[in-house]
Amino acid sequence: MRSFADLLSGKSRSAATAKERLRLVLIHDRSSLPPGVMEELRDELIEVISRHVEVDRNAVRIEIVQEGRSQRLQADIPLKAANLRLPD
């Protein structure tokens, strides 16, 4: 299907679609983690970290990032403002 930009330029540009589809499919293919593992990992990480600091649970993001042919597990775990309070 042609995108709006394609229609404007008069080009089909299916190669860009192919590249984007491949990019996504390769991330999935390369991931050695079985389905569900990411969710489990996320929940357990939150649990462990919450023992020490208060975590903003809904904003936690865990993903696999590609760097060349290697993969990196990247976790973004925002802390709650409560942690910044001065001790009593």
Binding site for another protein (CB under 8 A): 11-16, 18-19, 21-23, 25-26, 29-30, 68-69
Residue among 21 and 57 whose Cβ is closer to another protein:
21
Q: How far is the CB of 30 from another protein (least distance, A)?
A: 6
Residue among 13 and 57 whose Cβ is closer to another protein:
13
Among the listed residues 13, 15, 71, 12, the one whose alpha carbon sits nearest the alpha carbon of residue 38: 71
Residue among 11 and 61 whose Cβ is closer to another protein:
11
Q: How far is the CB of 25 from another protein (least distance, A)?
A: 6
What burial class does residue 31 get, using C-beta atoms within 10 Å of its C-beta: 0-12 exposed, 13-18 middle, 19+ buried?
middle
Pairing of strands 70-76, 61-67: antiparallel
